[in-house]
């Protein structure tokens, strides 16, 4: 079964053709990084405009690369939530137009479910149930994946996401967009014990995260040094900050695995590409005897192949959308799409 998938939740216009939820026949991504770099982050209005300009050729190329026409497609999957609402609407409306014109079923796909599904492409043998740590620029959560379309959130961030905190730390250090990627790069030779950052906890909710305090601490550190005429070593600050974030992620993940007696751990989301996080989780998994699955680096960021993978399982469950499908800026991963 072939799914034509469309993704436009943030600043990547993407389309892919995926067969049976595991095999990627094509995966096209048009990135907007250079356009947003001068602003130091994603400008929603510009992102929406660029999606509008690029979505048609991106979809056409995905079909061509898969040696398919729309007639060969069994269903159209599209990210409907969560994300930048203007950006989402471009993909949603384009997918609705294709579905209406072709008569193909329209499958609504949750963005975070898609990030988890990226692992089904990388690891053909991976099947639920498992524990998943989803870490991205906009979300951080611990999720029990009971089945392909059955998700239970047991821990989530109460404020900023881990990726958001890393991006702000990078910007404070004067690093270009995308911040998290560049922070990871410059931190490789840094001393991760040079600076001590707070270890936030959420009272009464041991599996929840909080990263706003960490973000404020690194901003204060750099600004105070500037006011005193002192210099900070960006590599040391970056390494210490990433160490603080990863400590929180590892600690809560370990608690979640022990509380649920899970033996399989999966990482997902853009921050799952972070070299420190991947290394630390591998060490922790080996120590605890867990089986660890990491998505291929090419599938960590936003792409449509992961949408096609999850879209396949949503289709099998019977999830369908009508022409009333709308984009949603927020949506709980554990709740199925409802019109």
Looking at the fold, whether 111 and 146 belong to one and the same domain comes out as no
Helix axes 275-288, 179-187, angle to 10 degrees: 70
Model-level pTM? 0.96
Instruction: Examine residue 6 and state whether it is found in any structural domain, yes or no.
Output: yes
Looking at the fold, whether 46 and 195 belong to one and the same domain comes out as no
DSSP 121-151: HH-TT--S-EEEEEE-SS-EEEEEEEETTEE
Instruction: Examine residue 107 and state whether it is found in any structural domain, yes or no.
Output: yes
Percent of the chain surpassing pLDDT 90: 96
Q: Note the pLDDT of residue 307.
A: 98
Q: Which residue has the tokens 């999957």?
A: 77
Residues 6+ apart with CB under 8 A from 22: 120, 121, 124, 309
How buried is residue 10: exposed, middle or buried, by Cβ count under 10 Å (0-12/13-18/19+)? Answer: buried
Looking at the fold, whether 263 and 286 belong to one and the same domain comes out as yes
Lowest mean pLDDT among 27-31, 196-200, 251-255: 196-200
Looking at the fold, whether 26 and 90 belong to one and the same domain comes out as yes
How far is it, in rounded angstroms, from Cα 52 to Cα 65?
21
Looking at the fold, whether 157 and 285 belong to one and the same domain comes out as yes
Instruction: Examine residue 271 and state whether it is found in any structural domain, yes or no.
Output: yes
Helix (H, G, I), strand (E, B) or coil at 326: coil
Looking at the fold, whether 280 and 305 belong to one and the same domain comes out as no
The continuous run of DSSP H or E covering 136 comes out as none
Task: Name the β-bridge partners of 130.
Answer: 145
Looking at the fold, whether 198 and 282 belong to one and the same domain comes out as yes
Q: Which domain holds residue 26?
A: 2-116+299-317
Looking at the fold, whether 131 and 89 belong to one and the same domain comes out as no
Instruction: Examine residue 329 and state whether it is found in any structural domain, yes or no.
Output: no
Q: Note the pLDDT of residue 223.
A: 94
| CATH code of 82's domain | 3.30.420.40
Closest CA to 326 of 21, 173, 37, 106: 106
Domain count, the chain: 2
Instruction: Examine residue 84 and state whether it is found in any structural domain, yes or no.
Output: yes
Looking at the fold, whether 243 and 232 belong to one and the same domain comes out as yes
Looking at the fold, whether 184 and 232 belong to one and the same domain comes out as yes
Q: Taking residues 163-186, report their average pLDDT.
A: 94
| 290 within 8 A of 324, measured Cβ to Cβ | no
Instruction: Examine residue 337 and state whether it is found in any structural domain, yes or no.
Output: no
Looking at the fold, whether 268 and 229 belong to one and the same domain comes out as yes
- At 254-264, the pLDDT tens digits run 999 999 999 99
Asked if residue 199 has pLDDT above 90, the reply is no
């Amino acid at each position: 079964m072939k799914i034509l998938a469309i993704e436009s939740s943030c600043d990547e216009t993407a389309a892919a053709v995926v067969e049976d939820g595991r095999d990627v026949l094509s995966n096209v991504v048009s990135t907007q990084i250079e356009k947003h770099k001068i602003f130091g982050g994603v400008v929603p209005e510009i992102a929406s405009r660029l999606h509008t300009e690029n979505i048609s050729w991106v979809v056409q190329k995905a079909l061509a690369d898969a040696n398919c026409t729309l007639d060969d497609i069994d269903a159209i999957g599209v990210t409907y939530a969560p994300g930048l609402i203007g950006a989402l609407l471009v993909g949603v409306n384009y997918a609705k137009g294709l579905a209406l014109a072709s008569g193909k079923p329209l499958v609504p796909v949750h963005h975070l479910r898609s990030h988890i599904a990226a692992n089904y492409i990388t690891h053909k043998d991976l099947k639920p149930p498992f524990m998943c740590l989803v870490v991205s620029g906009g979300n951080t959560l611990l999720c029990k994946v009971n089945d392909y379309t059955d998700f239970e959130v047991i821990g989530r961030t109460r404020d900023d996401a881990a990726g958001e905190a890393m991006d702000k730390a990078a910007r404070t250090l004067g690093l270009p967009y995308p911040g998290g990627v560049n922070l990871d790069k410059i931190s490789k030779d840094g001393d991760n014990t040079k600076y001590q950052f707070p270890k936030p906890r959420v009272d009464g909710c041991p599996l929840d995260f909080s990263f706003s305090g960490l973000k404020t601490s690194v901003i204060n550190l750099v600004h105070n040094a500037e006011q005193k005429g002192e210099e900070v070593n960006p590599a040391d600050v970056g390494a210490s900050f990433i160490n603080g974030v990863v400590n929180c992620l590892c600690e809560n993940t370990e608690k979640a695995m022990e509380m649920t007696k899970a033996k399989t751990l999966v990482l997902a989301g853009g921050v799952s590409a972070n070299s420190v996080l991947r290394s630390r989780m591998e060490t922790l998994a080996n120590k605890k005897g867990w089986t660890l699955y990491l998505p291929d680096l090419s599938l960590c960021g936003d792409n449509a192949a992961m949408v096609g993978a999850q879209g396949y399982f949503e289709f099998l469950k019977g999830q369908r959308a009508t022409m009333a499908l709308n984009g949603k800026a927020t949506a709980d991963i554990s709740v199925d799409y409802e019109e």
